[in-house]
């Protein structure tokens, strides 16, 4: 495994090797690590490279984050936007590196992000739509303050799968619902699902995600 790249990562090579294979890049949530979503790898389609990256900021006692989430005196959460943008750029650099390192099809890259990873997946796709084919945003929300939106024409080709729990206590479902509306406003057709669960991935959401990937 090449871990001389910008981000430490785990790799599952495709079981069906082509000259170049598509990539599923897994981006974990706050306080987790690269092993969390990698547990999905065995159940994901055989023809993909599956790479799960570790976020750069360590959170004691164990775990990592793409950016800090701070609380003010009223216990309101706010994002360290400078760190979020730095991580957005770091992930894009990492994507360029893995394309050089592994025989990956640069025109077939899918981001699968959970929570903070989903928030960054949106930001990457809006800022660099030419690099990303699909975004799978699990339990996240759209934060336009950390995205530099490009021309709508480039974004319209993006395929989106969005899922959220209706009783999510970490990221309210109302926040999640704004994303499909925003993308519809750009003339896109995001696939949006809600499930009667909290902050997590259910077997049903996983099945729906697989159906989307296999389309």
The structural domains of the chain, with segments of one domain joined by +, span 9-214
Record the tokens describing residue 87, joined without a space.
């991580």
- pLDDT at res. 75: 60
pLDDT above 90 (res 150): no
Residue 110 DSSP SS3: strand
What class does CATH assign to 9-214?
alpha beta
Closest CA to 97 of 18, 165, 3: 3
pLDDT tens digits, one per residue of 46-73: 999 999 999 999 998 889 999 988 766 6
Whole-model pTM over 0.75: yes
- pLDDT at res. 128: 95
Closest CA to 2 of 78, 120, 75, 100: 100
106/155: higher pLDDT? 106
pLDDT tens digits, one per residue of 111-122: 999 999 999 999
Closest CA to 208 of 140, 150, 138, 145: 138
Taking residues 78-100, report their average pLDDT: 94
């Amino acid at each position: 495994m090449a871990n001389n790249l910008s981000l430490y990562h785990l790799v599952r090579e495709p079981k069906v090797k082509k000259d170049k294979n598509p990539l599923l890049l897994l981006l974990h949530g706050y306080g987790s690590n690269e092993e969390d979503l990698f547990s999905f790898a065995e159940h994901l389609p055989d023809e993909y490279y599956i790479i799960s990256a570790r976020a750069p900021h360590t959170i004691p006692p164990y775990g990592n984050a793409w950016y800090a989430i701070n609380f003010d005196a009223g216990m309101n959460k706010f994002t360290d936007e400078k760190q979020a943008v730095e991580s957005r750029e770091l992930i894009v650099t990492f994507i360029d590196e893995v394309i050089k390192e592994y025989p990956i099809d640069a025109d077939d890259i899918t981001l699968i992000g959970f929570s903070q990873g989903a928030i960054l997946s949106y930001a990457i796709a809006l800022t660099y739509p030419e690099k990303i084919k699909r975004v799978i945003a699990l339990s996240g929300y759209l934060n336009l303050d950390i995205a530099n939106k490009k021309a709508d024409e480039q974004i319209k080709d993006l395929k989106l799968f969005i899922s959220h729990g209706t009783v999510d206590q970490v990221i309210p479902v109302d926040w999640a619902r704004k994303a499909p509306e925003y993308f519809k406003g750009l003339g896109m057709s995001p696939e949006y699902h809600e499930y009667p669960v909290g902050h997590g991935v259910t077997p049903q959401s996983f099945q729906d995600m697989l159906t989307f990937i296999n389309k």
